[in-house]
Structure 1
Amino acid sequence: MASKALTDMAVRNAKGRDKPYKLAAGAGLYLQVMPNGSRYWRMKYRYGAKEKLLSIGVYPEISLKEAVEKRDIARAQLRAGQDPSEEKQLVKLKAQLSADGRFEAIALEWLESRRDLAESTWSKAKWMLETYAFPWLGRRPIEDISTAEVLAVLRRLEAQEKIESTQRLRQICGQVFRYAVATGRLDRDPTSALRGALKTAKNRHYASITDPVKVGELLRAIDGYTGQLTTLCALKFAPLVFTRPGELRKAEWAEIDLDAGQWSIPAEKMKMGVAHIVPLSKQAIAILRELQPVTGKSRYVFPSIRSLRDPMSENTVNAALRRLGYGTDDMTGHGFRSMASTLLHEQGWTSDAIERQLAHSERNPIKAAYNRAEHLPERRRMMQAWADYLDKLKVQNSKPKLKLVG
């Protein structure tokens, strides 16, 4: 039964009772009335599949009209993919710190200016600053921070043998310092003198199988997997689309058009921050149609086995490969990308089409626009030919010849 709209008179006349109670104001907003007569505006909402609560203010300091306006702002933030509670905390913290030019204030300001980054990249940068930089540098005036002081912070992380994270933190801090230079609050970036002072990480090589005969063996092993259906379908789907593992496990049904044979991944999910189209072969569509009755009511195509509200764990595909007998030095979920790249190049497909399908960045913006516009028909042919090729590998022990589709 729908409740009547909350009025100013009802808010003014709300009195305390034996227990706290609520007066609904619509769209998640309500007035919480406490036994002592205190009245608080709250808003209930969902973000990232979790129910959350936003504190809007105290009545009568915040009127009903003001509370509704703040609720509408919060709803607009949700539509933009932002968490209203986090946005409120960030605004409050920036107001507290921005006046004195401390490192933490300027770092948060820089983060806010980089909302163009992929959500995963933005969140990782924020987490690294909060975890590894703010405890030691956060309260320091940014103009007083020396190169030696930054090095000491980085050495703490390096001592834990987190070499890649150390280098990443140096890069993030450098971006904060350069932002301070650009906005006139600093003369130089103290991290610029740190090149060569830290250990460098070895290039990461993801184990992959590129020998056609062994690829066929792998595909037959996958077909024989006896675990969860969702995991089996992810294993079968991965070599057909060769996206990054994070893109695969976070695939959403709303992004997939089975009739058009296309998976459209939004920019915020992509490593390079550019929307990506994955043409789906007949084989890939068949896998999704098989899975749809099982996970179609979930947001995610490959949800967690524990909860349909969360995506599959980042370890699921690799763990399944281990169960099939493939060790970390034999094959990884990321290795399907190298597999496809190597064999497609050998078969004569154009490098532009392959690189675009791998969603590698193109530094030339004019060429990048051309690639996105012109290579999709070729990529559609390539992805179907690739799926047909994999089917052939499963049933024969020698390298089949692939005739390119014109």
Structure 2
Amino acid sequence: DIVIKFEKTSSPDSARRAFWLIRDFWRYAFNIGLLKANPLSDIVISDILSPVSNNHYPKITDEKILGELLRCIDAYPHSLMIRTALAFVALVPLRSGNLSKLKWSYIDWDNKTLGIPRSEMKDHNKNFSDFKLPLSTQAINILNEVKIFTGWGEWVFHSAANPKKPMVGDSLSKALRMMGFNDEARGRKQLVHSFRGTFRSLVDTYQNEHNASFEIKEAILDHRIGNKVTQAYVHKADYTEQARPLLQWWADFLDRVKKS
């Protein structure tokens, strides 16, 4: 009833987020022995909520097509910057602007984390902490590869025309089109931003493999949770280390998909 009411007063997307949050709460209570059964375990979200209109970015979620995409990225011959940037964003689901303007100063090698100033994020509310993400072993390997070529400068992925300027974000989407991933009708369209949706969809699909909470998934994407009252309490919450196992699982999952 709460989720259905939320759908009517807010939005279908917000109602779905509320459903996942409540489901995680009940699952946690079950896992620590407070409940004998999870009352939401057999509920299919499509049975209680209306379909969400498809106004979001297209995204690849079919594992066979995703594996093909990842292999095409690894084999991309025309630009080291484009190849490594696409391989990195598949592992670390940043927004396209944050990816193209990624600076070496944002990388904490000792702690294997990425930190972006709040002022550079889409939600640049100064009351929120700077954005931080743990880096998987695979992501660190990509950074080490590209550091040989761009580590002397400011930008991790610099412009092909001017190494002192950041990469032009559209060059990545253009490369994806050149690889043949521009057919939305066949589930084969992928933009740079689409990697965020691919990540979010598949970590939900394989929830039983990693058991990460709703809050951790949303923190990785820098999404806000709850209303303003809730945010006032959690705006300084740091999920960095809690997110580390999930992002390492994701990197290993992509390796598995790539080889399948």
TM score, norm. by length of structure 2:
0.70
| Residue equivalent to 1:381 | 245
Q: Does 1:272 align with 2:123?
A: yes
| Residue equivalent to 2:87 | 236
Letter in 1 for 2:64: V
Instruction: Report the alpha carbon displacement of residue 376 of structure 1 after superposing the two structures with TM.
Output: 2.2
Residues in 2 aligned to 1:287 and 1:361: alpha-carbon distance in whole angstroms? 29
1:340 to 199, 202, 205: 199
RMSD: 1.9
Residue correspondences, number: 195
Note the alpha carbon deviations across 1:225-283, whole angstroms, 9 max, x for none. Answer: 11111111001001101110001000000111123111100011100114210211000
Is the 8 Å Cα contact of residues 345 and 351 (structure 1) preserved in structure 2? no
Mark the runs of 5 or more structure 2 residues left unpaired by the alignment: 1-52
| Residue equivalent to 1:351 | 214
Instruction: Report the alpha carbon displacement of residue 367 of structure 1 after superposing the two structures with TM.
Output: 4.6
Q: Does 1:283 align with 2:104?
A: no
Residues in 1 aligned to 2:228 and 2:242: alpha-carbon distance in whole angstroms? 20
SS in 2 for 1:373: coil
Is the 8 Å Cα contact of residues 235 and 317 (structure 1) preserved in structure 2? yes
Q: Does 1:311 align with 2:162?
A: no
Is the 8 Å Cα contact of residues 224 and 231 (structure 2) preserved in structure 1? no
Residues in 2 aligned to 1:318 and 1:272: alpha-carbon distance in whole angstroms? 23
Greater RCO (CA < 8 Å, at least 6 residues apart): 2
1:302 to 134, 154, 157: 157
Mark the runs of 5 or more structure 1 residues left unpaired by the alignment: 1-201, 397-406
Is the 8 Å Cα contact of residues 353 and 375 (structure 1) preserved in structure 2? yes
Instruction: Report the alpha carbon displacement of residue 213 of structure 1 after superposing the two structures with TM.
Output: 1.9
Residues in 1 aligned to 2:133 and 2:183: alpha-carbon distance in whole angstroms? 27
Calculate percent identity across the aligned residue pairs.
35
Q: Does 1:249 align with 2:108?
A: no
Note the alpha carbon deviations across 1:261-317, whole angstroms, 9 max, x for none. Answer: 111000111001142102110000000000001011121101101112211002111
Q: Does 1:224 align with 2:75?
A: yes
Q: Spell out structure 1 runs of 4+ moving beyond 4 A.
A: 365-369
Structure with greater strand share of residues: 1
Instruction: Report the alpha carbon displacement of residue 220 of structure 1 after superposing the two structures with TM.
Output: 1.0
Note the alpha carbon deviations across 1:136-190, whole angstroms, 9 max, x for none. Answer: xxxxxxxxxxxxxxxxxxxxxxxxxxxxxxxxxxxxxxxxxxxxxxxxxxxxxxx
| Residue equivalent to 2:16 | none
Letter in 2 for 1:259: D
> What are the residue-to-residue correspondences of 1:47-62 with 2, within 5 Å?
none
The 1:210–1:203 alpha-carbon spacing in structure 2 relative to 1, beyond 3 Å, is closer
The 1:222–1:372 alpha-carbon spacing in structure 2 relative to 1, beyond 3 Å, is farther
Note the alpha carbon deviations across 1:65-98, whole angstroms, 9 max, x for none. Answer: xxxxxxxxxxxxxxxxxxxxxxxxxxxxxxxxxx
Instruction: Report the alpha carbon displacement of residue 371 of structure 1 after superposing the two structures with TM.
Output: 6.8
